[in-house]
Amino acid sequence: MSQSPERAETANTLEYRNAWSSIQNMIQEGLSWSGRERNCSFLHTGGPRFADVSAITGLDFDDDARAAGMVDWDHDGDVDLWIANRTGPRLRFLRNNAGASKGFVQFLLRGTKCNRDAIGARVELYSPAGRRIQTLRAGEGFIAQSSKWLHFGLNGARAIDKLVVRWPGGAAETFTGLTPNGRHVIEEGSGAARPWLPPDRSVALTPSKAVAPPVGEQARVLLSVRPPMPALPYRSFDGAEAVCAPQGGKAVLVNLWASWCIPCAKELAEFAAAQEDLAARGVELLALTVDKEEDRAKAREQIAKVAPKIATGIATDETKSIVEIMQRALIELRRPLALPTSVLIDSKGRLAAIYRGAAGIERLRADAALLPLEGAALRDAAVPFPGLWYSAPHAAPVDRLARDFMFFGHPEIAMSFLANGATSQLPEYGEIVDADFQTRGDIFLLNGDLVAGRGDAQGGAKLYAEAIKALERELALKPNNSEALHNLGVLHSKLGRLEEALALYRRALPGHAVPATVYINMVRCLRALGRNDEAIEHLRKAIEFQPRDVALHMDLASYLIQLRRIDEVEQCFRKVLEIDPKHVRARQRLAEFFFHKQNFPESERIFREALELAPNDQDVQLGFARVLMRTGRGAEGIALCEKVLAAHPRNLDGIIELGMHYSREKKYDRALGYFEQGLVIAPDNAALQFAAGISQVGLGRAEAAAATYRRLVKLDPKQAATLKDQIRKLPGGDKLLLDEK
């Protein structure tokens, strides 16, 4: 967490969030975090410093312990511990061996005017060992409640003077007649302690070492609610495309195997033997090999021998990916896909079970019997032990599935989970807990872009509308969800409703993780609305949030140039160079700025710096050439331009630069050569057409110039008019242009 941000306002960055989600991912994928730590014990030594006795108390298990409950469980006069752990065994009982030799006394309080358990009572015990106080609490440490018997060690004291109880909300009451090594019930208002004896018992708790079984590689997960299984594509051994998507008929057990996997071969043989029996129970088998291309012949041969009647095929990357994403979304412990892995798809095309490792025929038979179950009955059957529920059955976690499929590159499958308004709603819980309308909105938005990108604008708009619906639902639940507000803005902006978009962006700003993004999208709207000054202001805001984002400074510069606010541009490039002194483009543009300001020495100096950084950069070379030509070093400039063109014959800027140079020198034939070369590359470039026409005029070629004019008039009537005036000055020019009409 050394990267953790300091202030809340700027802290909410994607990077920081991603750090959390990747830590979560890593733990779910089975990594330790502060694991294998041993419980600690500190002994009060009578002085201010406790002694670390962790290793000699016998409490130093490395179980990821959470909660400790204190109780004299066995009535032997000392405090034993129940510990709840994360790793196995998840409960431990630790018997205290201190025993009663140093003396103890225990009290159970009975409230008559306060709560009957007398929770909150303060008791003071007076003995030769001194005054000791305790409070009766319910809930202490972490997620633990200890015994309500208050226990006092007596440190060898042979008598007890008195006990003073301050009942909650009541007065203090004194009790006497207490005996060491005794247990007493103390009833409020009774004035007398009542001795209490534990039931007759002979405790037999012998120590041993409790250990947990290792977490097995094999697993079987019965789905408590069956989510739709995406149609599973695969290929036949002959290469034909196929798809497994049961609809009515039988359930299908899809088995992934490989020829080199020994447990797979064993399981296939079992499948072959049980095939008819399973079919009778409504389960068909489909064995798909994950073998690489070169081993597939071998795999085909192998399965033909071992299980000749089983339907077979090849698992493609897509097949594996779908199975793995389903597994990842539906099982909390995220482990890589194993071999063999099987999935049981019920006759309605829903996923019923996932088997990591060999499924086992007996288990398959048992699970096949559960296939007809639905709803509450299915939920009861899918958990390993019976118990009660107070909530209605959960809906399939379609949002989680959609999210995972989206982020592992299957946006269309992701959307299929959300079709028909499916939700993960938990009605009993009184609110939608799992349904993630925000992610839903993102998925529709993404799919809308995909569809629109394929040229289906109408289909795209339909999905955008779905996205808007989802985000509006999200906002109904969480009105200030700034990311949802933002993405809703994006959608409105896509649909041309710029004012609405702007209003949403404005609302998104306060809590958004990346305010710069919101500002940038506002810039886009403002610009489209022609509100340029506001747009620039917002772009500067974006930069405030991401001051080191070079691209933003460059964007600002471009925008300013476009608005002819040239004087503000210098600062942009200077900022970029401050952040990244090696930024060639910024340096080049800064040099161009000085060129524009006709400060040629400064321009030259900066171009030289840029050239040092990027000696072969065409744009820098050309800019530098321009400076040379403008400052009386035409030959050098031309040579440099020609060098660029030799290396990059299609560099239009270079071509234009040379043409313009010769044109200025009135060497129109050479100029025209360059312009014609440029027009081969960009025939519709108005500036080139214009320049060519001017050169033709310079050479007195009225007819050619008139032809150029006819081309130019379609591209840029304004420039064409200028050319027309020039042609008119040529002998016969008027006539040529008249012909035009």
Find the part of the chain contacting another protein (CB under 8 A) among 76-84, 297-305, 605-613, 664-672. Answer: 76-84
- For residue 541, report the phi and psi dihedrals to the nearest 5 degrees: -65, -45
Asked whether position 504 contacts another protein by CB under 8 A, the answer is no
Residue whose CB is less far from another protein, 110 or 704? 110
Looking at 95, 235, 540, 643, which residue binds another protein (CB under 8 A)?
A: 95
630 touches 641 (CB < 8 A): no
Asked whether position 551 contacts another protein by CB under 8 A, the answer is yes
Shortest distance (Å) from residue 251 CB to another protein: 17
Asked whether position 421 contacts another protein by CB under 8 A, the answer is no
Shortest distance (Å) from residue 514 CB to another protein: 7
Asked whether position 293 contacts another protein by CB under 8 A, the answer is no
Looking at 144, 231, 682, 704, which residue binds another protein (CB under 8 A)?
A: 144
618 touches 656 (CB < 8 A): no
- For residue 673, report the phi and psi dihedrals to the nearest 5 degrees: -55, -45
Shortest distance (Å) from residue 504 CB to another protein: 12
User: Which residues inside 426-485 make contact with another protein, applying CB under 8 A?
Assistant: 429-430, 433, 438-439, 442, 445-446, 448-450, 453, 483-484
User: Which residues inside 37-56 make contact with another protein, applying CB under 8 A?
Assistant: 37-56
Report the interhelical angle of 375-382 vs 361-370 (nearest 10°): 160
Residue whose CB is less far from another protein, 379 or 701? 379
H/E run at residue 85: strand 80-85
User: Which residues inside 698-737 make contact with another protein, applying CB under 8 A?
Assistant: none
The C-alpha atoms of residue 533 and residue 536 are separated, in whole angstroms, by 5
Asked whether position 496 contacts another protein by CB under 8 A, the answer is no
H/E run at residue 104: strand 104-110
List the structure tokens of 522.
Answer: 């506002």
Asked whether position 314 contacts another protein by CB under 8 A, the answer is no
Q: How many C-beta neighbours within 10 Å does residue 37 have?
A: 13
Shortest distance (Å) from residue 542 CB to another protein: 8
Looking at 232, 268, 345, 406, which residue binds another protein (CB under 8 A)?
A: 406
The C-alpha atoms of residue 316 and residue 318 are separated, in whole angstroms, by 5
List the structure tokens of 587.
Answer: 């340096």
Residue whose CB is less far from another protein, 155 or 726? 155
User: Which residues inside 204-263 make contact with another protein, applying CB under 8 A?
Assistant: 204-210, 212-225, 258, 260-261, 263
Residue whose CB is less far from another protein, 275 or 618? 618
Asked whether position 520 contacts another protein by CB under 8 A, the answer is yes
Asked whether position 313 contacts another protein by CB under 8 A, the answer is no
SS3 state of residue 159: coil
The C-alpha atoms of residue 221 and residue 4 are separated, in whole angstroms, by 37
Looking at 281, 348, 585, 648, which residue binds another protein (CB under 8 A)?
A: 585
Sign of CA dihedral 478, 481, 484, 490: positive
List the structure tokens of 53.
Answer: 């006795």
Residue whose CB is less far from another protein, 255 or 588? 588
Find the part of the chain contacting another protein (CB under 8 A) among 302-310, 399-407, 675-683, 721-729. Answer: 399-407
699 touches 669 (CB < 8 A): yes
Looking at 440, 626, 661, 701, which residue binds another protein (CB under 8 A)?
A: 626
- In the DSSP assignment, the letter for residue 393 is P
591 touches 606 (CB < 8 A): yes
User: Which residues inside 317-336 make contact with another protein, applying CB under 8 A?
Assistant: 317, 320-321, 324, 329-333, 335-336
Distances (CA, A) of 217 to 328, 333, 334, 623: 15, 11, 12, 65
List the structure tokens of 693.
Answer: 């026409």
Looking at 126, 132, 360, 532, which residue binds another protein (CB under 8 A)?
A: 132
Asked whether position 526 contacts another protein by CB under 8 A, the answer is no
List the structure tokens of 556.
Answer: 């600002």
SS3 state of residue 529: coil
Residue whose CB is less far from another protein, 115 or 423? 115
Residue whose CB is less far from another protein, 12 or 275? 12
Looking at 62, 642, 669, 740, which residue binds another protein (CB under 8 A)?
A: 62
Looking at 126, 148, 361, 631, which residue binds another protein (CB under 8 A)?
A: 148
Asked whether position 598 contacts another protein by CB under 8 A, the answer is no
- Closest listed residue to residue 16, CA positions, set 30, 29, 27, 2: 2
Shortest distance (Å) from residue 243 CB to another protein: 20
Find the part of the chain contacting another protein (CB under 8 A) among 165-173, 268-276, 367-375, 607-615. Answer: 165-173
Residue whose CB is less far from another protein, 363 or 704? 363
Asked whether position 185 contacts another protein by CB under 8 A, the answer is no
User: Which residues inside 659-698 make contact with another protein, applying CB under 8 A?
Assistant: none
* Rg from Cα positions in the chain: 41
For 218-306, list the strands marked E by DSSP.
219-222, 232-235, 241-244, 251-257, 283-289
Asked whether position 400 contacts another protein by CB under 8 A, the answer is yes
Looking at 184, 394, 492, 724, which residue binds another protein (CB under 8 A)?
A: 394
- Closest listed residue to residue 265, CA positions, set 301, 302, 225: 302
Asked whether position 606 contacts another protein by CB under 8 A, the answer is no
Asked whether position 571 contacts another protein by CB under 8 A, the answer is no
H/E run at residue 664: helix 652-664
Find the part of the chain contacting another protein (CB under 8 A) among 96-104, 662-670, 695-703, 725-733. Answer: 96-104
- Closest listed residue to residue 417, CA positions, set 432, 425, 405, 409: 405
The C-alpha atoms of residue 375 and residue 457 are separated, in whole angstroms, by 40
Looking at 275, 423, 425, 546, which residue binds another protein (CB under 8 A)?
A: 546
Q: How many C-beta neighbours within 10 Å does residue 396 have?
A: 21
- Closest listed residue to residue 699, CA positions, set 674, 666, 734: 666
CA trace torsion 263, 264, 265, 269 (10° rounding): 100
User: Tell me, what amino acid is at 31?
Assistant: L
Find the part of the chain contacting another protein (CB under 8 A) among 301-309, 386-394, 640-648, 721-729. Answer: 386-394
Asked whether position 297 contacts another protein by CB under 8 A, the answer is no
Looking at 606, 622, 645, 691, which residue binds another protein (CB under 8 A)?
A: 622
Looking at 475, 514, 640, 727, which residue binds another protein (CB under 8 A)?
A: 514
CA trace torsion 636, 639, 643, 648 (10° rounding): 110
Asked whether position 420 contacts another protein by CB under 8 A, the answer is no
Residue whose CB is less far from another protein, 484 or 645? 484
Q: How many C-beta neighbours within 10 Å does residue 541 have?
A: 17
SS3 state of residue 214: coil
Looking at 163, 168, 302, 473, which residue binds another protein (CB under 8 A)?
A: 168
Find the part of the chain contacting another protein (CB under 8 A) among 234-242, 543-551, 605-613, 690-698. Answer: 543-551
Total residues at interface with another protein (CB under 8 A): 261
- Closest listed residue to residue 371, CA positions, set 263, 223, 576, 153: 223
Report the interhelical angle of 668-681 vs 686-698 (nearest 10°): 150
Shortest distance (Å) from residue 86 CB to another protein: 3
Looking at 238, 421, 564, 741, which residue binds another protein (CB under 8 A)?
A: 564
Find the part of the chain contacting another protein (CB under 8 A) among 100-108, 272-280, 296-304, 607-615. Answer: 100-108
